[in-house]
Structure 1
């Protein structure tokens, strides 16, 4: 739309979202809050999923340091959100709640404006993701909005959050969705993989540096899992590193009766901190030329 000003300068303005037939109504604090929480949850969930695919250890790190990981992911999610809003004009949470971020003359904010606004929301509204501090900033801004004032980030960026079909029902819907999804994610995170699944996931890392000499006469070749048994495969070697002959190996095999008894005793005493206590058996196989010389298993039943 071309507008001719009194000074005869010709300027171009972007078309508004719509032509208001009546005065636009600013959205209240609760639709804004629940839409924001929903969008943050969705953004963090998607980022976490992608990070977990690219870096499998991420899920373990997130479980141990949930607050720290969230603090890092929130500004990233809000940066992506700014791009989505610049592109399509809204977010999933805001669309459900029936609200929209606009300039004060009801136009779509630019990407730069949306980015700066979101960073201000992140810092001044969400206290950079620090939970205890955020309670204070959220309460402060709730009081401002309830009194009819604008938030500092909307004042500074010349924006506002306006109703676009907002209603109590839509606010309740987005709140219920947020609580339901959050509860589902918490429940999902509380499901622990079985000890066997954890073992299977750890096997590639355990085998990464194998074969490896354990001492002058033993090489650990590989580690594997069979059902609920962790198997260590060793080879008996001579001092020069060559595989020990079957005859020589059988000559020293009698020593393994003492080794086996010691190993069983050690594993059983510490079963509360090792795999035996998780229901996993430990099998040890020692081979030389001609095949397996010694093969024994320590089971949870042995330590009962």
Structure 2
């Protein structure tokens, strides 16, 4: 009786008889690509190339197909509403975080800042224009650290280059600052309205935003589960409530007595 040996990873196992070999094949411990050898063979061969075992090949179950590697480029371009809500969500929590930290630090070490900040509404608007680019830097750092931003991740959006690669930190910073100019008009409210409408119009016509098109970036949208959309909805509403509450507390704390 022929004694067989088979390879299991880096181990050589055997000798085993033909009945044991058949049992291992039926249990899928040996498949068509498992290397086999017996005395008299000039080299190890996979099962599907051993002619004397042709009758056993019929019991070999086919190997599982490789797991599909879904390419980001196969996903459609993100529509304007998904991009809008993802951007609003990310910008709101990022600017709120930066404003709170920056405001706390400046208030602690500069009494003049506190006086200037509450001097007029224009001072607070100017402060908002100043911390917006810092929030955009935070946005880029977050993208590089975890691969996406929370708003985009929850809605299934991904920013990629034309060949499907993730953006480098420099590329994402360049994208954010280009968007700051041509998408947010540096944060000036009235002008921002016009730039947002312009970019939304481009997206509605099937084009990319101007700051993505010029740099060769694309924002893709993949299908997401209902729970991710639900989570985004709760997070969006929760963030809005927090912002309103903070604004109310700030106004109440600095109401001038009559």
Normalised to the residue count of structure 2, the TM-score between the two structures is 0.61
Any conservation in 2 of the 1:35–1:174 contact (CA below 8 Å)?
no
Compare the two structures and name the one with the higher strand fraction: 1
- Alignment partners' CA distance in 1, 2:130 and 2:202: 28
Match of 2:28 in 1: none
Structure 2 counterpart of 1:74, from 132, 145, 150: 132
- Alignment partners' CA distance in 2, 1:194 and 1:151: 43
Structure 1 counterpart of 2:81, from 30, 33, 38: 30
In structure 2, relative to structure 1, the CA distance for the partners of 1:100 and 1:62 (3 Å cut) is: farther
The alpha-carbon deviation at position 32 of structure 1 amounts to: 1.2
| CA deviation vs aligned residue, 1:51-99 (integer Å, no higher than 9, x gap) | 2332215555444322111111111110221122122111122223321
Consecutive unaligned residues of structure 1, counting only runs of 5 or more, are 1-17, 196-276, 279-304
Compare the two structures and name the one with the higher helix fraction: 2
In structure 2, relative to structure 1, the CA distance for the partners of 1:43 and 1:24 (3 Å cut) is: same
Q: Aligned pair 1:191/2:249, yes or no?
A: no
Consecutive unaligned residues of structure 2, counting only runs of 5 or more, are 1-68
- By relative contact order (CA 8 Å, sep 6+), the higher-ranking structure is 2
- Alignment partners' CA distance in 1, 2:181 and 2:72: 35
The alpha-carbon deviation at position 146 of structure 1 amounts to: 1.2
Local SS of the residue matching 1:105: coil
Report matched runs for 1:143-292 at 5 Å.
143-166=201-224, 169=229, 172-173=233-234, 175-192=236-253
Equivalent pairs counted in the alignment come to 180
Normalised to the residue count of structure 1, the TM-score between the two structures is 0.53
Report matched runs for 1:65-104 at 5 Å.
65-104=123-162
Any conservation in 2 of the 1:81–1:91 contact (CA below 8 Å)?
yes
Structure 2 counterpart of 1:136, from 194, 203, 208: 194
